Amino acid sequence: DGGITQSPKYLFRKEGQNVTLSCEQNLNHDAMYWYRQDPGQGLRLIYYSQIVNDFQKGDIAEGYSVSREKKESFPLTVTSAQKNPTAFYLCASSPAGYTEAFFGQGTRLTVV
């Protein structure tokens, strides 16, 4: 089935550790995105990529890093520099242009 796969669904990490969230899509979409969702808040854009080997910062990129080595994959690393990393992270992809974005099921990251 075509779609976006995020793994793992739940992730626990100790404070100060880097952690990488996986996002894979088989929809042949050009653009991919990472959003962060906090309780009672809308989604905020962390990073986005419109083509392979290129990506741009979103509104809250500090403390995060990404790579786009393959069209299908857009992993997000939450570094120790991120002050408050506990959140729900959603990955999305879309074809070129202003069509709707398709979302994965999210990863809930808890830092203890």
Q: Rule CB under 8 A: is residue 82 a binding residue for other proteins? A: no
Q: Rule CB under 8 A: is residue 25 a binding residue for other proteins? A: no
Q: Kindly state the smallest distance separating residue 103's Cβ from other proteins, in Å.
A: 4
What residues contact 77, with CB distance under 8 A and at least 6 apart? 18, 19, 20, 21, 64, 65, 66
Q: Rule CB under 8 A: is residue 42 a binding residue for other proteins? A: yes
Helix spans in 1-112 (H): none
One residue of 18, 20, 105, 110 binding other proteins per CB under 8 A:
105
Q: Rule CB under 8 A: is residue 75 a binding residue for other proteins? A: no
Q: Kindly state the smallest distance separating residue 45's Cβ from other proteins, in Å.
A: 6
Nearest-CA neighbor of 93 among 43, 40, 42, 26? Answer: 26
